[in-house]
Chains A and B, each alone.
Chain A
């Protein structure tokens, strides 16, 4: 199994631009999570899905953030428009059932200038 795959690994963009982060979970995993990691705030849960349905999006910071999971093998996190304070490492993780270990991707390092 290739594990959770995220793309791109690095993204540098200018303030105001749209950013789309992508994630392919492990096949058969029903849960998908988007986390954001910064030095100041640590690891924050943004949103998670169960069977492609968003369950909890209370961590999404603002309307500028949106996430979709059109099918079991693909999810996107979009920021429009991006701001410098969005700079962080964004992780996608998946798990086969509730409260089981998460499998993380290697993250996307986003820099907004």
Chain B
């Protein structure tokens, strides 16, 4: 399966600390995306990193991609209680016949305590 897998499944930290989530996948990709899901809501896109990029920043978010290890990490710096949510990575399939299809992992549940 192409599906990405996030690690850890759950992460609990205090406000102000950094949160790091990891994602591993199995086959070559064009890009990797990270999404956030608040309880009872749909997923919201956070950041997209292309296969030829190694690092990308967006505000307090930092994403890295290591295609040789088929892994990515999402770092949230100076976390806030409002960052409490589930975080998912999603990958496409490079050269796949089903262009446009995204494969989602099971997610990391992040809890940030005030």
Interface residues of A, Cβ cutoff 8 Å to B: 4, 31, 33, 35, 42-43, 45, 48, 50, 55-56, 91, 93, 95, 97-107
What's the Cα separation between A50 and B106 when bound, in Å?
A: 26
What's the Cα separation between A43 and B105 when bound, in Å?
A: 7
Interface size class of B (residues with CB under 8 A): 20 to 34
What's the Cα separation between A98 and B106 when bound, in Å?
A: 22
A95 CB to nearest B CB, Å: 7
What's the Cα separation between A55 and B98 when bound, in Å?
A: 7
Q: A42-B105, A99-B92 are in contact. Are A56 and B98 (CB under 8 A)?
A: yes
| Interface contact A101-B100, CB-CB below 8 Å | no
* Contact residues of B between 54 and 108, Cβ < 8 Å to A: 88, 90, 92, 98-107
Residues of chain B within 8 A of A48, CB atoms compared = 100-101
What's the Cα separation between A56 and B101 when bound, in Å?
A: 9
Instruction: Kindly supply a per-residue 1/0 record for chain B positions 29-41, scoring 1 wherever the CB is within 8 Å of any chain A CB and 0 otherwise.
Output: 0110101000011
Closest-by-CB residue of A relative to B50 is A99
| Interface contact B100-A104, CB-CB below 8 Å | no
Which of A42, A43, A97 has the most chain B CB atoms closer than 10 A to its own CB? A43
Residues of chain A within 8 A of B104, CB atoms compared = 35, 42-43, 45
Q: A43-B88, A99-B100 are in contact. Are A4 and B42 (CB under 8 A)?
A: yes
| Interface contact A42-B98, CB-CB below 8 Å | no
Q: A42-B105, A42-B106, A99-B92 are in contact. Are A50 and B45 (CB under 8 A)?
A: no
| Interface contact B48-A101, CB-CB below 8 Å | yes
Which of B88, B98, B103 has the most chain A CB atoms closer than 10 A to its own CB? B98
B110 CB to nearest A CB, Å: 16
Residues of chain B within 8 A of A101, CB atoms compared = 33, 45, 48
Cβ of B10 under 8 Å from chain A: no
| Interface contact B43-A99, CB-CB below 8 Å | no
What's the Cα separation between A91 and B43 when bound, in Å?
A: 9
What's the Cα separation between A106 and B43 when bound, in Å?
A: 8
